[in-house]
Amino acid sequence: MRVFTAIDLSEDLKKEVSEISQKIFKEIPLRLVARENLHLTLVFLGERDEEELEKVKKTLSELASSFSKFTLSLQNLAIFPDNKRPRGIWFNAGGQKEKAFSLYKKLIDGLLKEGLMLEREHFEYSPHCTIGRIPEKIKMPGNLNKKIARVNLNKEFLAEKLILYQSILSPKGPEYFKLGEYGLR
């Protein structure tokens, strides 16, 4: 199953991000992430079997019990992977990014200690909140960066729990299912 780890967003922030997403959707045809599924992605882990999932859950549980809550923010919008071949739009993370990086590093170290094999792409640190994906068949005219440059949220939130999600991509948009929640201390 395709899984990733994330930091949950507050309901108020999910509402605000969803409203921004709806406005952007009027200009850019996105498959929007549903409001209830908005989150800050920490580490994408790819396809994992049941045995590996248990190791991921153990690592998340141990990490959460030893890591303090901290403040992050959602800031500017960005296109991924780049403006020449856009696949989606996300908010970059701000705030106490050094704490988020420490959490990320400890998570990666814990997974490696548990014997999980990680692909090179799993080591890329890029905390973000995806708001939507651009369907492959749609060719975007002009410079997308100009269309999203005026959106700057810079809204803080408390990172208080880690979530393990299963991700299923479909033509209607991504579907996420919580496999576990781990409260930070």
Ordered per-residue pLDDT tens for the chain, 185 residues: 999 999 999 999 999 999 999 988 888 888 898 999 999 999 999 999 999 999 999 999 999 999 999 999 999 899 888 777 788 999 999 999 999 999 999 999 999 999 999 888 767 788 999 999 888 766 665 667 777 877 878 789 999 999 999 999 877 767 899 999 999 99
Q: Has this prediction a pTM greater than 0.95?
A: no
> How far is residue 120's CA from residue 100's CA, in Å, rounded to a whole number?
20
115 dihedral zone (left: phi>0; alpha: psi -120 to 50; beta): left
Q: Which residues are the active-site residues?
A: 39, 128
Report, at the CATH architecture level, how domain 2-183 is classified.
Alpha-Beta Complex (3.90)
What are the sequence ranges of the domains in the chain?
2-183
